[in-house]
A and B are shown apart, each in its own frame.
Chain A
C-alpha cells in the first residue's frame, strides 16, 4: 500500500472531528482525500476515488445502504467500513461480509491493512 503511490480517498463520517482527523492523516501519508458528512452528500457530489472509507452509522443513508446503492449501480469501488460500535456484531456479519471493517479508534496500520484488503478484493472481482 505504501508503495502503491498516491491514492484518492473519499471519507464519509458525520462526526466532524473524525473526518477532519482522517483527512489529515491520509493527506500526511500523501494521499488525496475528499470528506463528506453524509452518504447523501457523497452521492450528490459523486467524486471518483480509489477507496471509500465510510462510517457504518450515519444520519440518513447508513454505510450498508450506501454500499448497496453503489454495487447496484455497478460501482466496484473498494470500501472500508469504520464503526464506533466496537466491530461487527454477529447479526451484522452478513452486512459486513466482504467489506473490511475497523473499529474506532484504529491505528494507521489497521487502516492501511483494511484499505489493502478492500482494494485487493475489488481487484479480484474485476
Chain B
C-alpha cells in the first residue's frame, strides 16, 4: 500500500523536523507531542520516562489535569527490564480488567480509550507515550505503526539528550559561553614571558589568574599560549580530552598545529583577534593525539598585563562532538528520508544512509545487505566505504549462519555482534575476504519491514576487535529502521509500478469500452482497445455531456444510474440498445464510482449474447405455441363437438331448404327462417374458429403503460355480440382515473376475455334472469385490481388453486386452458390472480397488476404466451 508508506515517510520527516529543532530534552518531549497531534490528530497525550529510581514519571503532557497525573503517576505495564515490549491498546477502558481500579479517575478525566506505546532503546523500555481518547476507540494497524515510528525516533532522541545532559551536568550553563571569570582584561602582576611550568604545571606568572578562575577543575580543555602561540599550560581536562599521557607531551607545541591545515586560517584569525584584546571564536574539528576526530567550540582570549598589553593567550575549547554529531545526524536522517520520499533509487538512499552513519562513528564502515525476493539469498544494498570486490563476495551468498553476521541476522531476525571475525564460526565462509581488508569486528542488526518481515541487515565493521558502544548500537538500530523505511517504500513503489503495469496490461487486454464521466455526466476519458469500436470518434464526445451525444431517453437512464452509483457506491448495471445505421446493437454497462466524484462506465457490446437470448426466447415462444397446438390436438374431440353442432344444424337446414324449394307454393317465410338459422349457426362456427385462431396465433409481447379500464372496454366490445347471443347481462364498475399498469395489450385482453368466458360458462346453466356478469376495477398505491364476478355454479370446495391448473375444468365443456393461460400471463406481468366463491352465489376472479412505476419498469419483455 503506497499510501501507507508515504504516510509513514511523512510522519518520519515530521518527527525528524520536530526533533531537529529540539535543543534539550523538554524540546524532545514537545516535539513528540507535536508530532502526535500533527500526524495522528491526537490532542491528548503524554510522555513518561523511567527515572533512575525505576519509577515511570510524567515528563510532558497535553490536556491532562494535574489530579489525573497524580492519580496515575507510577503506573506502568512495563519495568525498565522489560524486553520486546509491544504497544498495549485499550479500545474501551471499562472492558480492561487490569485498569478497573483507575475507572473513576478515567471517568473524571473523560478518558474512554487509551494506548500505551513503549519507548524502546536497545531493546529495553525507557518510557512510554500515552494516547488518550474521549470515546471508545478502535485502533487500526496504521495508527499504531505510526505511533511506533514516532516512539522509535523519540526514544533515540531521549537517549542522546540524556547522554548529553549527563555530560553537561557539571557545566554552569546549558550553552557554552566563557564565563566572566575566564576572560576580560586580566590583571597581570608578574614578569611576562614566563614559560616554565611550575609544580602545578602552570606558568608561575599566571598562577593567580588560574586560581581565580579555577581552571584546574574546569571541565573544558583550557590552555595558556605564549604570545608566539606555543602551549605554556594545559589543564587536566584538556590533557585528557586531547588524549595525551601528560601535559609535558603537549607543552611548547604550536597550538595552530593541532588543527587541520584547511582550518589554519580560521584559527589564526581567532588568535589575531585575541592579540587585539578581543575574543576569537570558532568551531572546528581536530584530531586528538589518539587520532580521534572531535569537534571543538573554541574561544581564544587575551591575558593582559597591568598596562593593558596582551602578554599571553588563554584558549577554552569545549568538545561539542556529541552535539554536532547529533545535529549532523538529524540533518543526515532528514536527507535520507527526503531522498526516500522523492523516490530516489534504493542503492543511492542506502549509500547516503551508510555515509550518515559512518560520519557518526569514527573508524566504522557500514554495509546494508538485502534479502533477495527469493528469501534465501543475499544482495548487496550499499557499502560505499568498503572495497567493491569485497562487497562482491557477499552478492548472491545463501542466507545462513556461516555467511557472516549478516547471513545469520537475516536467518534469525536477531542482532548479532561478532567481536572478532578471525575466530568466530559465523564468518567461516567469508572470513578471508573480510580479514584481508583489515576488518576485525562486525555488528549487524536485521532490517524489518513495517510488518516485521526481514528485509535485510545493516552492519558496521570495525578495524579493531571490539564490541559496540551503546551509542553505536543505537545508531545501527536507527540505521536499520531507516533502511527498513527505504526498502518498504521502494518495494511499495515497485508494487505500485507493477500494479500500474498490470492495470495497463489488463486495460490493453480488456475488450470492453470504458468511459470516465464527471458526476454531472461529462465524458472525461475513455479506453477502447480498438477505437473503431467507438460509436463516435473521441472528439465528438470528450468534454461533452452525455445528453448531447446519446439519445435523450438513454442519457436519462444513464444519469439515473449515475446518481444511484454515486449515492450507493455499489456497481450499477444497465442494459440498453442503440439503433445504429444498419442494425440494432445491445450493450451492457457497469457503472461504478471512482475518485470519489467520478464515474467509470464499463460498456460491453452484448449484441451476440442478446441475439442468442432472443433466439432462445423465440424458441420458448415456439415451444409455448407447440404446447398449445398439442393441447388443442388433445382436445380436438371437444373442439370438433363445438364445431360439429353448428355445422350439423347448417347442413340440416340447407337440406331442408332444398326440400322446401321443391314445394309448391314456396313457403318463403319458412325459407327465410331457415336461412337465418343457417347464418346464425355459421356465425357460431366462425366464433369457435376465431377463438381457435387466437389461441394459435404467434406474436411477441409489447410492454407499455396501459389503462386497464380501456383494455376492459375493448374486451367487452369484442365479446358484445357473443355475450348478447349467450344472454349474459353485464354490469361494469370501472374506477375512473386509475393509474396505468405496464403490460401487453393483447395478453391482458386475453386474460379478461378468458375470465369473461369462464364466468359466462359458469352461468350457462343458470336461468338467464338470474345471470349477472360484473366487471370491477379499483386501484391502490401498488396495483390495479380487476375483478370478474359471476352468479354461476361457483367453484367446488378446495379447488380455488387447482382451478388455474392447465386442463382442469369443473365444467362439462371448455378446455381447462383459459385460466391456466391467464395465470401465466398475470404472473409474467408480476401480478397475481386468485379465485373465490361469492357469499351468495357464483365466483369472483381477481387479478392484481403492479402499477407502471418503479420496479415495474423492469418487467422484461418476453414472448407472448
Which residues of A are in contact with B by a Cβ distance under 8 Å? 15, 17-18, 20-22, 24-25, 27-29, 57, 59, 82, 84-86, 103-108
Q: Kindly list the 3 A-B residue pairs having the minimum CB-CB distance in the complex, ordered from nearest.
A: A28-B659, A104-B648, A21-B652
CB distance from A80 to the nearest CB of B (A): 13
List of B residues within 8 angstroms of A106 by Cβ: 648, 651
A85 touches B641 (CB 8 A): yes
Which residues 646-704 of B have a CB within 8 angstroms of A?
Answer: 646-653, 655-657, 659-660, 663, 670, 674, 677, 680-681, 684
Least distance between A62 CB and chain B CB atoms (Å):
11
Asked if B660 and A28 sit within 8 Å, CB to CB, the answer is yes
CA–CA, A105 to B643, complex, Å? 9
- Whole-angstrom distance between the alpha carbons of A21 and B680 in the complex? 12
Residues of B within 8 A of A22 (CB): 652
CA distance A29 to B652 in the complex (A): 11
Of B645, B648, B656, B659, chain A has the most CB atoms within 10 Å of the CB of B648
Task: Enumerate chain B interface residues (CB-CB to A < 8 A).
Answer: 637, 640-642, 644-653, 655-657, 659-660, 663, 670, 674, 677, 680-681, 684, 765, 812
A26 to B674, CA, bound (A): 13
CB closest chain-A residue, reference B653: A21
Q: In the bound complex, do residue A107 and residue B646 qualify as a contact, i.e. CB atoms below 8 Å apart?
A: no
Known: A28-B660, A104-B648. A57 touches B655 (CB 8 A): no
Partner of A21, one of B659, B670, B677: B677
Asked if residues B641 and A57 are in contact (CB atoms below 8 Å), the reply is yes
CA distance A20 to B677 in the complex (A): 9
Residues from chain B with a CB closer than 8 A to the CB of A21 are 648-653, 656, 677, 681
Beta-carbon contact of A84 and B641 below 8 Å: yes
Known: A24-B656, A59-B812. A84 touches B644 (CB 8 A): yes
Contact between A24 and B645, CB atoms less than 8 A apart: no
Chain B residues closer than 8 Å to A25, beta-carbon distance = 652-653, 655-656, 659
Mind listing 10 A-B residue pairs with CB under 8 Å? A17-B646, A17-B680, A18-B648, A18-B649, A22-B652, A25-B655, A28-B656, A86-B644, A104-B647, A106-B648
A104 B644 Cβ-Cβ under 8 A: yes
CA distance A104 to B655 in the complex (A): 14
Question: How many Å lie between the Cα of A105 and that of B640 in the bound state?
Answer: 10
A18 to B650, CA, bound (A): 8
Bound: A86/B645 CA distance, A: 11
- CB-based nearest A residue for B673: A24
Give the complex CA separation of A29 and B656 in angstroms: 8
A106 to B648, CA, bound (A): 6
Contacts of B677 in A (CB 8 A): 17, 20-21, 24
Do A105 and B651 contact each other (CB < 8 Å), given the known contacts A17-B680, A17-B684?
A: yes
Instruction: Tell me whether B641 and A18 are in contact (CB under 8 A).
Output: no
How far is B674's CA from A125's CA once the two chains are assembled, in angstroms? 38
Q: How far is B663's CA from A82's CA once the two chains are assembled, in angstroms?
A: 28
In the bound complex, residues from chain B placing their C-beta under 8 Å from that of A105 are 644, 647-648, 650-652
In the complex the two chains form, is B651's CB within 8 Å of A107's CB? yes
Task: Pick from A15, A29, A82: contact of B659, CB below 8 A.
Answer: A29
Complex contacts, B663 vs chain A, CB 8 Å: 28
A15 to B642, CA, bound (A): 10
Q: Which of A17, A59, A86, A107 contacts B655 (CB 8 A)?
A: A107
> In chain A, what residue has the closest Cβ to B765?
A59
- For A104, the closest partner residue in chain B by CB is B648
How many angstroms between the C-alpha atoms of A20 and B812 in the bound complex?
23
**Chain A residues, Cβ within 8 Å of B637:** 85-86
Kindly state the separation between the CA atoms of A25 and B655 in the bound complex, as whole angstroms.
7
What's the minimum C-beta distance from A111 to chain B, rounded to whole angstroms?
8
Contacts of A17 in B (CB 8 A): 645-646, 649, 677, 680-681, 684
Q: From residue B114, how far is it (CB to closest CB) to chain A in Å? A: 93
Q: Which A residues are in CB contact (< 8 Å) with B655? A: 25, 28, 107-108
Question: Which B residues touch A18, using CB under 8 A?
Answer: 645, 648-649, 652
Query: Cα distance A15–B644 when bound, in Å?
Result: 11
One of B642, B644, B657 near A103 (C-beta < 8 A): B644
A30, closest chain B residue (CB): B659
- Chain A proximity of B858: nearest CB distance (Å): 48
Task: Determine if A104 and B645 form an interchain contact, defined as CB atoms under 8 angstroms apart.
Answer: yes
A50 to chain B, nearest CB (A): 19
In the complex, chain B residues whose CB is within 8 Å of the CB of A15: 645, 649
Instruction: Give CA–CA (A86, B680) in the complex, Å.
Output: 22
Q: Bound state CA distance, A21 and B684, in angstroms?
A: 15
Closest to A15 in B: B645
Nearest CB of chain B from residue A95's CB, rounded to whole Å: 16
Q: Report yes or no: B640 in contact with A85, Cβ–Cβ below 8 A.
A: yes
User: Min CB distance, B457 to chain A, in Å?
Assistant: 100
In Å, the complex CA distance between A69 and B590 comes to: 78
Please measure, in the bound complex, the distance between the C-alpha atom of A30 and the C-alpha atom of B641, giving whole angstroms. Answer: 29
Starting from the known contacts A84-B641, A104-B647, 10 additional A-B residue pairs (CB-CB under 8 Å) come to A18-B649, A21-B648, A21-B650, A21-B656, A21-B677, A28-B657, A28-B663, A82-B648, A104-B648, A107-B655
- Choose among A25, A29, A108 the residue with the greatest number of B CB atoms under 10 Å from its CB: A25
A21 to B417, alpha carbons, bound, how many Å?
A: 125
Question: In the complex the two chains form, is B680's CB within 8 Å of A24's CB?
Answer: no
Most B CB contacts (10 A, CB to CB) among A24, A103, A107, A108 go to A24
On whether the beta carbons of A24 and B652 are closer than 8 Å, the reply is yes
Give Cα A30 to B677, complex, Å. Answer: 20
Chain A residues contacting B651 (CB-CB under 8 Å) are 21, 105-107
Q: In the docked arrangement, what's the CA distance between A15 and B681, Å?
A: 11
In angstroms, Cα B656 to Cα A22, docked, is: 8
CB of B102, distance to nearest CB on chain A (Å): 97
* Residues of chain A lying within 8 A (CB to CB) of residue B670: 24
CA of A27 to CA of B660, assembled, Å:
10
CA distance in complex: A84, B812 (Å): 14
In chain B, what residue has the closest Cβ to A29? Answer: B659
CB-CB nearest in chain B for A86: B640
For A29, what are the chain B residues with a Cβ–Cβ distance below 8 Å?
659
In the complex, A7 Cα to B677 Cα: how many Å? Answer: 25
Shortest CB distance B725–A (Å): 11
A24 CA / B653 CA spacing, docked (Å): 7
> Which residue of the partner chain A has the closest CB to B655?
A108
- Docked complex Cα distance between A22 and B680 (Å): 15
| Nearest CB of A to B762, in Å | 15
Q: Tell me the complex Cα distance, A104–B640, Å.
A: 9
Q: Inside 8 A of B765's CB, which chain A residues have their CB?
A: 59
**Closest B residue by C-beta to A17:** B649
Q: Which residue of A lies closest to B657 (CB)?
A: A28
CA distance A103 to B660 in the complex (A): 24
Distance in Å: Cβ of B258 to nearest Cβ of chain A: 136
B680: chain A residues at CB < 8 Å are: 17
Chain A residue at minimal CB-CB distance from B660: A28
Complex Cα gap A43–B647 (Å):
28
List of A residues within 8 angstroms of B812 by Cβ? 59
Which residues of B lie under 8 Å from residue A82 when comparing CB positions? 648
Provide the bound-state CA to CA distance between A74 and B602, in Å: 90
Q: Report how far A25 CA is from B642 CA in the complex, Å.
A: 21
**B605 CB to nearest A CB, Å:** 56
Contact indicator B640/A24 (Cβ below 8 Å)? no
Closest residue on chain A to residue B647 by CB atoms: A105
CA distance A108 to B646 in the complex (A): 16
CB distance from B573 to the nearest CB of A (A): 56
